[in-house]
């Protein structure tokens, strides 16, 4: 499991919860002055995920207002950027004279080393919690010109278009399902998240040329892989279909995967095989015919499926289902690699 930590104020009586939250905020690298209309019963939770290059925090709290004052900035300089995704409620973000309303599904960006104001309120009468996912990015880790970043402070960016969609999906998956990954995956996931954030911010700067070439390449690979994962069950999925969906040439797509130690076709095939193996060894799917499972993941030809499954795992699909699930070890290095893909 990924390195995580949780702070939950509901472990204390209602009257002590807001004080616990203030203590938490005071201990962070960028303390804030907090106000709330819910101080009498501040039921809140913070889930931290350490990904090495970046840190993620999912917040759930009643409505609040936060200010990083000039005095607090002088007291500590965390040298961090904050990229915040609102997941429920509505908020405002203000820095350097720019103020934006942030709706659910939108990002805002600011520098924790400078004065700023943020507030976040629930928009549903029956829902007392506003929620967000915060990405903490060290200044030194973001490969974009710092003097250019002020153009984005206090602004809003879509989390439902282009790379914004992919980054939002990544943050939601990692913060809400850290148990699906190994601790050893943290560094790799952190690099993926940083690449996606860097490329999205670079595009909003209208300065994608400022994003290092390798960062852009890795971000595009992550975007392509996410598309493949979403359409894996489509039997017509092919390298050409993937290239067309990403508005790139087939040649460019193949060049992208040269550094991934896999061809596009083998990546699709091995990922499908991994899904089939998972379903074949799932006791709840025991009554489903092998061919139904194969077809679900894009294998329409029974003989072809049996042949490639045996080549990858050293046994037939039926033998995999009948035998010990752990005995179906990949004999194909690429199959092994996609089994642990962070895009799952």
pLDDT of 132 > 60? The answer is yes
Which of 10-24, 121-135, 153-167, 220-234 comes out lowest in average pLDDT?
A: 121-135
State pLDDT tens for residues 35-81: 998 999 999 999 999 999 999 999 999 889 999 999 999 888 889 99
Residue 220 pLDDT: 84
SS (H, E, C) the chain: CCCEEEEEHHHCCHHHHHHHHHHHHHHCCCCCEEECCCCCCCCCEEEEEECCCCEEEEEEECCEEEEECHHHHHHCCCCEEEEEEEEECEEEEEECCEEEEECCCEEEEEECCCCEEEEEECCCCCCCCEEEEEEEEEHHHCCCCHHHHHHHCCEEEECCCHHHHHHHHHHHHHHHCHHHCCHHHHHHHHHHHHHHHHHHHHHHCCCHHHCCHHHHHHHHHHHHHHHHHHCCCCCCCCHHHHHHHHCCCHHHHHHHHHCCCCCHHHHHHHHHHHHHHHHHCCHHHCCCCHHHHHHHCCCCCHHHHHHHHHHHHCCCHHHHHHCCHHHCCCCCHHHHHHHCCCCC
State pLDDT tens for residues 77-101: 889 999 999 999 999 999 988 999 9
Residue 85 pLDDT: 97
303 exposed, middle or buried (CB, 10 Å; 0-12, 13-18, 19+)? exposed
Residue 28 pLDDT: 84
Q: In angstroms, rounded to a whole number, what is the distance separating the alpha carbons of residues 21 and 169? A: 28
Token output for 235? 């039997």
State pLDDT tens for residues 173-202: 999 999 988 999 999 899 999 999 999 998
The average pLDDT across 13-39 equals: 91
State pLDDT tens for residues 218-259: 888 888 888 898 889 998 999 999 998 888 899 889 988 887
State pLDDT tens for residues 289-322: 999 999 999 998 989 999 999 999 999 999 999 8
Q: In angstroms, rounded to a whole number, what is the distance separating the alpha carbons of residues 77 and 288? A: 58
The average pLDDT across 270-294 equals: 92
pLDDT of 338 > 80? The answer is no
Residue 209 pLDDT: 55
Residue 210 pLDDT: 59
Token output for 204? 């909003």
Q: In angstroms, rounded to a whole number, what is the distance separating the alpha carbons of residues 148 and 198? A: 13
Residue 344 pLDDT: 42
The average pLDDT across 124-137 equals: 83
CA Rg value for the chain:
23
pLDDT grade, residue 330 (50/70/90)?
low
Residue 162 pLDDT: 83
Model pTM above 0.75:
no
């Amino acid at each position: 499991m990924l390195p995580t930590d949780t702070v939950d104020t509901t472990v204390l009586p209602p009257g002590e919860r807001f004080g616990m939250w203030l203590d938490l905020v005071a201990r962070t690298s960028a303390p804030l002055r907090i106000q709330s209309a819910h101080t009498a019963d501040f039921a809140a939770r913070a889930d931290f995920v350490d990904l090495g290059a970046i840190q993620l925090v999912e917040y759930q709290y009643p409505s609040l207002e936060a200010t990083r004052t000039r005095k607090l900035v002088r007291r500590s300089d965390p040298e961090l950027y904050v990229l915040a995704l609102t997941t429920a409620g509505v908020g405002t973000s203000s820095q350097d004279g720019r103020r934006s309303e942030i709706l659910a599904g939108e990002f805002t960006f600011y520098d924790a080393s400078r004065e700023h104001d943020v507030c976040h309120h629930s928009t549903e009468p029956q829902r007392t919690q506003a929620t967000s996912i915060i990405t903490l990015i060290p200044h030194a880790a973001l490969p974009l010109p710092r003097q250019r970043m002020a153009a984005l402070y206090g602004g809003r960016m879509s989390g439902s278009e282009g790379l914004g969609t992919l980054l939002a999906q990544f943050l939601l998956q990692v913060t809400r399902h850290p148990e699906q990954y190994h601790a050893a995956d943290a560094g790799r996931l952190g690099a993926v998240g940083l690449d996606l954030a860097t490329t999205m911010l670079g595009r909003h700067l209208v300065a994608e040329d400022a994003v290092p070439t390798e960062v852009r390449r890795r971000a595009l690979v992550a975007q392509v892989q996410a598309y493949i994962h979403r359409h894996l069950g489509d039997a017509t999925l092919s390298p050409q279909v993937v290239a067309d969906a990403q508005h790139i040439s087939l040649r460019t797509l193949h060049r992208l995967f040269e550094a991934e130690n896999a061809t596009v076709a083998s990546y699709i095939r091995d990922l499908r095989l991994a899904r089939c193996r998972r379903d074949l060894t799932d006791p709840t799917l025991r009554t489903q015919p092998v061919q139904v499972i194969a077809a679900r993941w894009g294998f329409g030809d029974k003989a072809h499926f049996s042949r490639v499954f045996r080549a990858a795992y050293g046994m037939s699909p039926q033998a995999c289902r009948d035998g010990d699930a752990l005995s179906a070890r990949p004999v194909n290095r690429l199959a092994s690699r996609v089994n642990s893909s962070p895009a799952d």
